[in-house]
Amino acid sequence: MVGVKHMDPESLLEGLDESQRRAAVATSGPVRIIAGAGAGKTRTITRRIAYACALDVWNPSHVLAVTFSKRAAQEMHSRLDGLGFGDVKARTFHSAALGQLHLVWDAVTTDAFPEIHQSSPKALAEAVRIVTNRTDLDKGAVQDVESEINWAKVSLIAPQDYPTVCKATGRVPPAGLEPDTFAELAQEYERQKAAANRMDFNDILLLVCHIIERFPRQARRIRGGIDCITVDEYQDVSPLQHRLLRLWLGDINEVCVVGDAAQTIYSFAGATSYYLRDFAREFAPVHSDIVLNRDYRSTPQIVQYANRVLAASPHRDEYLELTSAQPKGRDIRPTRYEDDSAEAQGIAARIKRLQEHGVPLGDIGVLTRTNAQLKPIAKALEERGIASSVRKVEFTDGNESETTPQNGDWASAGMSGNAPSDTMAAPSPAASLAPAERTIPASSPSTPTAVATQRRMAAEEQALAQLTQLRQRGSATTMPARQTVSLSTIHAAKGLEWKYVFVAGCADGLIPYHSPTDESEREEERRLMYVAVTRAQKELFPSYASTDAPSTGYAPHERMLSPFLRGK
């Protein structure tokens, strides 16, 4: 860590454009920064924090910067450290909450601190058996059930309210379960988990919410360490995370949120850009409301292409239109291949040519909608002796990995199955919400397809494992990551950039995946395409295959270019 350098505050504003500068000097909250892809949001918020600390407006050790992934937290910390303010706490929601839970645990209960697990398959299987008398649910169905429990939990829908939500929104529980049975199962799952003294990531958030609400002295301890909060990627906040943020803040309004509604790609897991869009009303009067729409990452052609993806959206007015700060680059035209295998070969051949022209492999990313699509590309690269590495989609572990922002399930009823002390004998925090807090935000997913999406992502982990094996057989694993082509799903590529980006599988049916019947699902697919396109700095190579793989044994299906790339 670099020691505090007593930096001249003005020097911290160097290299910021006018809008970024306005954001950086807005040292009183509430502040909202709507920042498009590549618009320098990380640069802006780190300078803003450093500037306020250099002016002694804030004490660095009382500043909390919240991100959605460990990688983003590390990036934020290293930039702040470089500016001389390494004392600022850059944390994920889960790691910040976990630290607070450890801080106050002994003051609220005599129980041992529960073990933390991302999921508890045994507890879930047992709950299914007890409630439904079934032991025949396949792995996919069990995953669907778990995903649905997670979704309800981050959406702050208590089990007893779940059937009403289904009735009101047409949501269908997974695995053919009736809403009432599902609610019962969710409660039983919590009991099983509590009996095993286990807690999942969202239990951590729910418990901290509960403690701040019910234990005033502990609430003061928790809040005592926080004078102001900055939340990055605010478009991905869930109702549960939003609630925790409000409780952390209490009466203070020193909050700055940064986000881009066009980059919400985790709605299926409970994320919603509603809070970003509603910020000016919720925190009125806001001190500053700033838009950063100058993209420093990508060429004008890439930016125009990205704008076009959003242009036909019925939600266009919720999204920014970007302008590029870069010199002109090459025009972009999607390449059409005969089938998936030809596409994989074509991409590999192009990458080989780039390599021969001196492009470092680390400057190249290949993005797809699903993990399974990466496999033939990895194989084609391997055949040409090109090293690649796969970015893994890892689900929230709260403080250790790349994440989806939401995960976990309903709270374990204050560990009630764990012989709690009187002080901790609390009902499920989700169940104890005021009714107004239990409503579902407008943009929450309301169809079973959202569950299927999660299931698909989980199932794709299998394909990923195979892919990793494939890589291990090749030379890739012995190469430093910088010398390999990055293979990534679009979800896992969020927040990253490469000079050369290949987006494979830009076909109708792959992106959008299948045929979303629900408007909000289709819109999420559009945003995924936008995120993919905006990862490219210098050159973008979209491609698709006009038929699916001939090796499937079925008659090949005709494919069309993705409607998101067809323009208006």
Ligand X SMILES: Nc1ncnc2c1ncn2[C@@H]1O[C@H](COP(=O)(O)OP(=O)(O)OP(=O)(O)O)[C@@H](O)[C@H]1O
Q: Tell me whether residue 322 or residue 381 sits nearer to ligand X (CB atom).
A: 322
Among residues 70, 89, 277, 297, which is the contact residue for ligand X, using CB under 6 A?
297
Please, which residue, 20 or 273, has the CB nearer to ligand X? Answer: 20
**Residue nearer to ligand X on the CB measure, 346 or 362:** 362
What x-and-dash track marks residues 396-415 binding ligand X by CB under 6 A?
--------------------
The one segment of 9-17, 152-160, 413-421, 454-462 that binds ligand X by CB under 6 A: 9-17
Angle between helix 41-54 and 18-25 (nearest 10): 40
Q: Which among 176, 95, 159 has a CA at the least distance from the CA of 430?
A: 159
Does residue 241 touch ligand X according to CB under 6 A?
no
**Number of Cβ within a 10 Å radius of residue 91:** 21
Read off the amino acid at residue 488: S
Q: Which of 29, 31, 32, 38 binds ligand X (CB under 6 A)?
A: 38
d(CA 461, CA 150): 18
DSSP3 helix / strand / coil % (the chain, rounded to 5): 50, 15, 35
Window of 15-23, 122-130, 181-189, 315-323 that interacts with ligand X by CB under 6 A: 15-23
Q: Tell me if 53 contacts ligand X by CB under 6 A.
A: no
The one among 23, 26, 37, 49 contacting ligand X by CB under 6 A: 37
Q: Does 16 bind ligand X (CB under 6 A)?
A: yes
The closest residue (CB) to ligand X is 40
> Minimum CB separation from ligand X for residue 197, in Å?
39
The minimum distance between CB 269 and ligand X, in angstroms, equals 19
Known binding residue 36? Answer is yes
DSSP 93-141: HHHHHHHHHHHHHHHH-SSPPPEE-S--HHHHHHHHHHHH------HHH
User: If binding is defined by CB under 6 A, does position 15 make contact with ligand X?
Assistant: yes
> Where does this chain touch ligand X (CB under 6 A) — which range of 16-24, 100-108, 315-323, 505-513?
16-24
In the set 495, 512, 516, 542, which binds ligand X (CB under 6 A)? Answer: 495
27 annotated as ligand-binding: no
Return the number of the residue (35 or 528) whose C-beta is nearest ligand X: 35
The SS3 call for residue 311 is helix
Considering beta carbons, is residue 46 or 150 the nearer one to ligand X? 46
Q: Which is nearer to ligand X, 48 or 91 (CB)?
A: 48
Residue 42 annotated in ligand binding: yes
Distance between CA atoms of residues 336 and 339, nearest Å: 9
Instruction: Please tell me what DSSP assigns to residue 164.
Output: H
Cα 393 from Cα 402, distance rounded (Å) = 7
Torsion of CA 83, 85, 86, 89, to 10 degrees: -130
Minimum CB separation from ligand X for residue 322, in Å? 10
Structure tokens belonging to residue 145: 């059930």
Among 43, 153, 243, 538, binds ligand X (CB under 6 A): 43
Do 223 and 209 touch, CB atoms closer than 8 A?
Answer: no
Helix (H) or strand (E) holding 538: strand 536-545
Q: What whole-number distance in Å separates Cα of residue 341 and Cα of residue 413?
A: 51
Q: Which residues are annotated as a binding site for ATP?
A: 35-42
Binding site for ligand X (CB under 6 A): 15-17, 20, 35, 37-43, 296-297, 495
